[in-house]
Amino acid sequence: MVQDSKVALITGGTSGVGLEVAKILSLAAASDAGFKLLGRFDFAFANADIMERANPYEKVQTLPPPHPEFPIIDIGFKGFVYTTWLAQHYFRATPGEGKDLMLLFHSSCTAFYGSQFTPIYAGAKAAIVNFLHSITFLFHHFAGIHAYTICRGGIKTNLMTPEEHAAFPGSTWTPMTKVTGTIEILINRGTVEDSWAKKVEKEANYGLTMEINNDNHYFRDPVEHCDEPMEANMYNNSLEKDPFPVSLWSGP
C-alpha cells in the first residue's frame, strides 16, 4: 500500500537558471499534487543549486549603479527557505504516530571558508547552515523533524564546464559516492561517527552539519560563544528557555 512506503520531495537535480527558478515557483503546486496522490511526505531534500556567474566586482559607468541581478540568492538560499516552509506543512499533514521525518539541506564547504571568486554563492551557502542551526531545535522537539545540512567539497557536476573542471587538480574533487554515502548515513539515523572519530549517539542525532571532503566526513558544530554573557544572552532569547514553542508550532 502507498501508506507503507516513504515519500521524498527533492528540489534541484539539474542545472539552468530559468529551469531552477521555474521549479521554485512551481514547487507548491508540485508538492500539493504529490501529497494528494501519495498521501504523505517523509523526506525533503533542498538541493537546488547554480553556479555564480555574475561579477559582484564589476565596474559600471553610471551612478547610481543599475540594480543587480543575483539569482544565486533566490535559488541558493530563498529556495531553501521556501522548501522548508512547504515541507513543514506537508510533514504536519502526514498521518501516523511517531512519524519519521527528515529535512536535508545541500550546502557547500564555502559556507565555512568563504570564496573570493564566488562571494555571493559562499554567502548563500553560509546562510543555509545558519538557518539550519536556527530551526533545528523547534523542528526536532516539537515536530519530530530531523534536519541536517551537508557541506561538500568540490564534486564534478554539469554546473561547471569541463574546462572549469580541468583547472582544479584531481585530488581536490570529492567522489559523488562519498556524498551519497554520507547522506545514507544521515538517513539511517543511528549512532554516527565522523572522520575525526567524534561520535554522536542516536538520541542526539539531529541538527547536524556534515562537511564532506575527499573520502572523509566531519561534524561541524556552531561557533562557540565568545564569552559567558553572550552564551547566557543567546540562551535567554532561545526557544530552549521559553515554553511558548508548542503554541508557536501548533498555531491558533
Q: What is the pLDDT along the chain (252 residues), one digit of tens a residue?
A: 344 566 666 676 554 333 444 454 455 566 666 666 667 778 888 887 777 778 889 999 999 999 888 888 988 899 999 999 988 888 888 887 657 899 999 999 999 999 998 899 999 999 999 999 999 998 998 888 999 999 998 776 666 667 766 667 667 788 888 888 898 899 888 899 999 999 999 999 999 999 999 999 999 999 999 999 999 999 988 888 765 555 555 544
Ranges of beta strands (E only) in 109-249 are: 145-152, 192-193, 199-200, 209-213, 216-219
Pick the CATH number of 2-250 from 3.40.50.150, 3.90.180.10, 3.40.50.720, 3.40.1350.10: 3.40.50.720
Please tell me the predicted confidence (pLDDT) of residue 222: 93
25 DSSP β-pair partners? none
For residue 78, give the amino acid letter: K
Catalytic residue among 23, 82, 90, 121: 121
Residue 153: burial class (beta carbons within 10 Å; 0-12, 13-18, 19+): middle
Catalytic residue among 23, 82, 90, 125: 125
Residue 125 among the catalytic residues: yes
Residue 235 among the catalytic residues: no
What ranges do the domains of the chain cover? 2-250
Cα–Cα–Cα angle for 152, 154, 158, rounded to 5 degrees: 110
pLDDT in tens, 157-212: 666 667 766 667 667 788 888 888 898 899 888 899 999 999 999 999 999 999 99
pTM: 0.82
Please tell me the predicted confidence (pLDDT) of residue 127: 97
